[in-house]
Amino acid sequence: MAVKHPYHHGALREALLSQAFQDLETEGLEGLSLRRLAESTGVSKTAPYRHFADKRDLLVTIAAEGFRLLAEKLEAAPSAPQPPAPGGDALQGITALCRAYVEFARERPVLYKLMISRLGYELHSEACRLNSERAFGCLVRAVQTAQAAGWRRDKDGMALVLSLWASIHGWAGLLIDGLLPSGNGVEGDEWLKLALVLID
């Protein structure tokens, strides 16, 4: 580490971001330090300030990228067939989405928590807002499809979306922080069966 680069790094911003992306999960949010980031990118401790206003600016940029990754993952989740399959499950799309969402949170717990923490401001940045709305849109569509297929047709759509989001977010949190009495859906997808007891 601390490999020597020429005076002008050339792509320092990107190098710092990708290094930070790694460090985040290995060191935790508190363990992430601008100085160490600079050193392991082979640059002086103050160089990062040419590319980020401050540490928060770096974190917000990372959060935005996180929302982009989440949106892409949710968009790639297999959605329910538009005309409900004969005997098909109305919750198919929602189930797939829940699985993808929680998988993301468990794969990158520190990033997920960073994204969700308000970081002191409204919704961090334009990029965060845009990408988080993209992800939110997946939830909205999944609920619409499920309702069209007969799931809780009488309930308000947005109320269902928000309740579902709260539920998934809650499961993500409990799983990430290891709060579940062990042996209760802690491994893999078992939590989904438990979650569906309320959602179904």
List contacts with a copy of itself (CB under 8 A).
30, 116-118, 122-123, 152, 155-156, 158-160, 162-171, 173-174, 177-180, 184-185, 193-195, 197-199
The residues, ordered by sequence, that sit 6+ positions from 124 with a Cβ below 8 Å of its Cβ are: 60, 63, 64, 118
Site for DNA, residues 8 to 27, rule: CB under 7 A: 8-10, 12
Contact range with DNA by CB under 7 A, out of 31-39, 125-133, 155-163, 178-186:
31-39
Q: Is residue 119 within the footprint of DNA (CB under 7 A)?
A: no
Alpha helices in 50-91 (DSSP H): 55-76
Alpha-carbon separation of residue 52 from 12, 16, 55, 60 (angstroms): 11, 10, 7, 10
Least Å from the CB of residue 30 to DNA: 9
Given candidates 20, 34, 94, 143, which one binds DNA under the rule CB under 7 A?
A: 34
User: Whose Cβ is closer to DNA: residue 34's or residue 102's?
Assistant: 34
By the rule CB under 7 A, 184 interacts with DNA: no
Per residue, the 3-state secondary structure of 88-154, as one string, reads CCCCHHHHHHHHHHHHHHHHCHHHHHHHHCCCCCCCCCHHHHHHHHHHHHHHHHHHHHHHHCCCCCC
Q: Based on the shown chain and the rule CB under 7 A, indicate whether residue 60 belongs to the binding site for DNA.
A: no
Comparison of 33 and 147: residue with beta carbon closer to DNA? 33
